[in-house]
Amino acid sequence: MSSPLTYPALRCVLEFLDPARRIHISARNSALQRINASIPHRMDRIVIGEFCVYLNEIKIFNTRNNVIVFEKVWNHEKIEKLVSLDQNAEIMRKLYNYYFGGRKNTILADNAFFTQQSTDIFFPPNLSLTINKLSIHWCDFRKILPYINPISFPLKSFGILDDKPVFLDHPVVQSAETVKIKLVSDSRTTKLPDAHLLRNKNISVDYSDCKIRDIIRMIKHWMTYGKEIGTKFTLTYRGLSNHIVSGLLIELEKFLCNSEGVDKQMFLHKPRFAIKLNSWSKIFVYEIDVKRNYGYAESQLALTVVEN
């Protein structure tokens, strides 16, 4: 007969166990429940939403009628549990506290995703995530930062989706290896007031209503303060495919320089040009096509800093 697991071995097994299996096992063993909160959770992805939580491939969500549903994402197998609470916010508060509230150690995840449209964020005060990538939807990311372990920074990737102006001049944003921004709206006012201040090498913005003045401000900021070789800024937008590039070409005509050696993805029939930054680098500005299955064509503007 095999020997029973030692306490350190049991801790190791639980720490690296998939969240769905860990929840299933620990819920049926009172001894495991006593030590569960002191053992870190490890997972590829954690989603903490206003009405749901994802732990890897298990989804736990509130149906807004006092029913908590546990669903396996890969096969949609569900278990439902009726709870006797009147307020949806109170249901989620209890849910957060159950999974995150009593934890003495951090949750370790490659990718953390927060989505909160409510102005009130009621995560447990001792929630602590150690992560590589962070995505924020529909809320001010600065309200989420207290729940992120400081050793997570700088992030490999920082992403944000919102329909309001986003604050970009922040150390967490500026230090990320890659920044991805998606802005949802057709407002006539710019949603990127700080885009020119971004110092990241890889920046991606998806915004159908971007203005030429935003790109001009960014290019002129790079021309004044310089930009590291290898930096790439991409902008995905809808509308006439050559509208922004053609407008930039007119506005920046006097700064143009030789544009040979453009990125291999560039289509030669698309407008493109180069602007000299200094004696050793220049900015290539050009358009490439983006193929998406949304029923309409989108274009992508690229600004790449390369050697002269």
Per the structure, the count of domains in the chain is: 1
Q: Which amino acid is at 281?
A: S
Structure confidence by residue, pLDDT tens digits, 51-85: 888 988 888 888 767 778 888 877 778 777 777 66
- With respect to residue 277, please indicate whether it lies within any of the assigned structural domains: no
For residue 21, give its domain range.
Answer: 1-152
> Distance (Å, rounded) from C-alpha 201 to C-alpha 229?
9
- With respect to residue 94, please indicate whether it lies within any of the assigned structural domains: yes
- With respect to residue 288, please indicate whether it lies within any of the assigned structural domains: no
Residue 62 token pair: 């509130």
Look-up: residue for tokens 């004044």? 224
pLDDT surpassing 70 at residue 186: no
> What's the alpha-carbon Rg for the chain, to the nearest Å?
24
Residue 256 token pair: 């143009």
Q: Record the pTM.
A: 0.86
- With respect to residue 213, please indicate whether it lies within any of the assigned structural domains: no
- With respect to residue 87, please indicate whether it lies within any of the assigned structural domains: yes
- With respect to residue 75, please indicate whether it lies within any of the assigned structural domains: yes
Residue 260 token pair: 């040979």
Structure confidence by residue, pLDDT tens digits, 199-239: 999 999 988 777 788 888 899 999 999 999 999 999 888 76
- With respect to residue 299, please indicate whether it lies within any of the assigned structural domains: no
